[in-house]
Amino acid sequence: MAKPEPCPCGRPRPYADCCGRLHRGQPAETAEDLMRSRYSAFVLGDRDYLLRSWHPRTRPAELSLDAPGSTRWLGLTVKRHQSTGDDTAVVEFVARYRTGGASAVRLHEVSRFVRIDGSWLYLDGEG
C-alpha cells in the first residue's frame, strides 16, 4: 500500500486530510489554516484556489505563477497566529523557496485575514 502524500504546509498529516480538503472547497477553520492552504497552493501551482481564497477588494485580476518546476518550495514556518477581532486575524510566517539555480530566498510576511460569511479570506500582507 502506498504511503499518503505529505501535506506541503508542514503539518504531519497527509495532503488529502489537511490542505487538500480546503483546496476541494471545505472552509478553513482558522486564518492559519487558510494561510497554510495558500502556501500549499503555491507549492502545487493551484492558481484558482489562490484567487478564490483572496479577498475580492485586494485580489488581482490575474495571477501568474512560475512554470511548474521552476520554483522549488523548501518549507514553511508559522511564527504567530493572532486573532485581532471576531472576524479578523494576522498570521506571521516565513516561507523558503529557490528559483532556478539561485540561492534560497526567505519570504517573511505578516498577512491579514478577514472572515466573511464564515469563510476566511486573505486580505493583504507586509513583508
Mean pLDDT, residues 114-118:
96
The domain defined by 15-126 carries CATH number 3.10.450.50? yes
Give the domain ranges of the chain: 15-126
pLDDT at 36: 98
Give the dihedral sign, CA 42/109/126/32.
positive
pLDDT digits (tens, 9 = 90+) for 40-86: 999 999 999 999 999 999 999 999 887 766 888 999 999 999 999 99
In single-letter form, the type of residue at position 35 comes to: M
pLDDT at 99: 87
The proportion of the chain whose per-residue pLDDT surpasses 90, expressed as a percent, equals 83
Mean pLDDT, residues 90-110:
92
* Cell 503539518 belongs to residue: 11
Report CA dihedral (17, 19, 20, 21) to the nearest 10 degrees.
70
